[in-house]
Amino acid sequence: MQHIVAFPILFPLFSALLLLLPPCGKNIKVRRIASVSFSIIALAINLSLLVQVCNLGTLTYAIGNWQAPFGIVLHADLFAVTLTSLAAFLTLCCVLFSCAGDDARGSFFHPLVQFLLMGVSGAFLTGDLFNLFVFFEVLLIASYSLLMHAADKHNTRGALHYVILNLVGSAVFLIALGTIYGVIGSLNIQDVAVRITQLADDDIYLAMIGGSLLLIVFALKAALLPLHMWLPNTYSNAMPVVAALFAIMTKVGIYSIIRVYNSIFSADSGPLGAMGQNILWYAALATIVVGTMGVLASKDMRKLVANLIVVSAGTLIALASMQQMQATAAAIYYLIHSTLVCAALFLCVDLIASQRGKVADRITTGRPVKQGLLIGLVFFVSALAVVGMPPLSGFIGKIWILKATYQQGEYALFWPVYLVSSLLLLVGVTRAGSIVFWQNTPTDADKMDVKPAHRAKIYAVYILAAVSPLMVIFAKPISDFCLQAAMQIHPVTTVAPLTGGL
């Protein structure tokens, strides 16, 4: 079954098309059942690909059997397939959550989600820079439409900002690709990595321009300072279930940085080795600081969670910029954890907002959450996990990150920034949680009209939040797995201190 490598991309494509056709297109019940079952099958396909990659090592699939430098290849290594599985799992949970009624508030929710999954999986699997651009566009156009799903007047401006910013980003991406192709003569990532070492004279500077532009585009997608401004507004404008899905989208940018900067601009790739490392490192630290301030300043829960995503993006890029095996392994562990926990928090915020009447998700005194215990428990677990308190997965991720930076000798700057930001995050999240759940003005009258949350919503949130304790219980095999995946990205262990150019 060599073709299974292409299935994580092809299957969502066909399921999206099927969801548009009758009988799924006509009947909402059929559509929901079909969508959930397609998502389960997509997850199963991804997991079986993961098993294959574990057993056989990295799989390379030439689309249409056109061989590597001429055709487009899909490159399925452990890291890529882990992330496609993560995306499929997140999609399943969000689809399940939306079946409680959010999907019927606009049109084409389920097909768009499948198109988004297709774009995300494609971006993770592809081994070709131009193909990466194409899949970025696939996931972006799906995300534009999802952002406007069930949107009212107030959301339009946020959506417009997001669309314009990303269209400019796409233009810059294409210019970067044109420059790289013009100077190197190839767009296959592995081929570029080989050829970039043979450049001489002025070509080096051209390649540097191309690489820097590429870095800017990825930083925009990953919400790195100063290109992170769009994220809090966009995510808090979207419906929470859509925002939860978007939690994987910043990770696409981070994945691209890890992939491209560890193969094309790795420490031993000649004159351009470790390009832009210093800039990434300091920008990542600044992102952590600004994200933390955003969390403290947030007036509603959605903004708060969106800023938590900014902090996690900063942490991940700091790890990526070190270009070290331990750091990448820690980044993979932290990436899985932070995606799922942030998604759980977004869904949790939706439940809170729907049960507090007019106050919705604003962090002020209001009427109590009706199912306080049920929702409070999941919020408590996710909040502790996202801040990194023991005994949840955030804590293990945090220890690993601290250890990786210690081994690199980068702790003098990173540790204070990271630890103080964690403390402030704890303060911010605890404050929000205690105000929302405990500081209430209960009146008997308004308790009546709130319906308890739909079962599908509760299941989806609990499944997502349960991953964090599971990642602690199975910490040993998961961390071994992350190390293995990181070893495939860094085939030779090279010592790369932060002496990068630029």
Partner 1 sequence: MELLYSVCVGVLVSCGVFLILRARSFPIVLGLTMLSYAVNLFLFASGRLTINKAAILSANDQYADPLPQALVLTAIVIGFAMTAFSVILSIRARADLGNDYVNQQTNNKIGVKK
Which bin fits 223, alpha (ψ -120 to 50), beta or left (φ > 0)? left
Q: How far is the CB of 162 from partner 1 (least distance, A)?
A: 10
The H or E element containing residue 60 is strand 59-62
Which position has the token pair 């548009």?
20
Peptide bond into 391 cis (omega under 30): yes
CB closer to partner 1, 143 vs 393: 143
Burial of 290-308, coded b for 16+ CB within 10 Å and e otherwise, reads: bbbbbbeebebbbbbbbbb
CA 148 to chain centre: 20
Could you tell me the two tokens for 251?
């990770």
Between CA 119 and CA 141 the distance in angstroms is 9
Q: With CA atoms as reference, report the closest residue to 280 among 300, 303, 262.
A: 262
Report CA Rg, the chain: 22
Q: Which is nearer to partner 1, 166 or 321 (CB)?
A: 166
Of 138 and 351, CB closest to partner 1? 138
Integer Cα distance of 219 and 241 in angstroms:
24
Q: Between vectors from CA 464 to CA 461 and to CA 470, what angle results, nearest 5°?
A: 135
Neighbours of 464 (CB within 10 A): 30
DSSP state string for 210-240: HHHHHHHHHHHHHT-TTS-THHHHHHHHS-H
Cβ closest to partner 1, residue 144 vs residue 415: 144
Closest separation in Å from C-beta 91 to partner 1: 22
**What is the smallest separation between the CB atom of 70 and partner 1, expressed in angstroms?**
8
Q: Provide, rounded to whole angstroms, the least separation between the CB of residue 271 and partner 1.
A: 21
Comparing CB distances to partner 1, the nearer of 182 and 390 is 182
Residue 106 or residue 501: which is nearer to partner 1 going by CB?
106
Least distance between partner 1 and beta carbon 71 (Å): 11
Report d(CA 58, CA 325) in Å as an integer: 17
Judged by CB, which is closer to partner 1: 162, or 379?
162
Q: Which is nearer to partner 1, 159 or 401 (CB)?
A: 159
Between the alpha carbon of residue 491 and those of residues 45, 266, 430, 472, the distances in Å are 27, 11, 42, 28
Distance in angstroms (rounded) separating the CA atoms of residues 164 and 162: 6
Minimum distance, C-beta of residue 160 to partner 1, in the bound complex (Å): 5
Shortest spacing between CB 135 and partner 1, in angstroms: 11
Q: How far is the CB of 83 from partner 1 (least distance, A)?
A: 23
Around 114, how many Cα atoms within 13 Å sit in the side-chain half-sphere?
25
Query: Hey, is 137 helix, strand or coil?
Result: helix
Dist CA 219 CA 435 (whole Å)? 34
The backbone torsions φ and ψ at residue 477, rounded to the nearest 5 degrees and listed phi first, read: -60, -35
Q: Are 288 and 318 in contact (CB under 8 A)?
A: yes
| Axis-axis angle for helices 301-322, 411-438 (nearest 10) | 160
In the complex, minimum distance from the CB of residue 255 to partner 1, in angstroms, rounded to a whole number: 21
Helix axes 277-297, 202-222, angle to 10 degrees: 20
Give least dist CB 466 to partner 1, A.
Answer: 37
* For partner 1, the closer CB: 212 or 278: 212
CB of 164 to partner 1, least distance (A): 6
Least distance in angstroms from the C-beta of 153 to partner 1: 4
Cβ closest to partner 1, residue 131 vs residue 408 = 131
Binding site for partner 1 (CB under 8 A): 130, 134, 137, 141, 144, 148, 153, 156-157, 159-161, 163-164, 167-168, 170-171, 174-175, 177-179, 181-182, 187
Cβ proximity to partner 1, 137 vs 446, nearer residue: 137
Helix, strand, coil % (nearest 5) of the chain? 75, 5, 20
Our CB check for partner 1 shows the closer of 29 and 299 to be 299
**How many CB atoms are located within 10 Å of the residue 201 CB?**
7
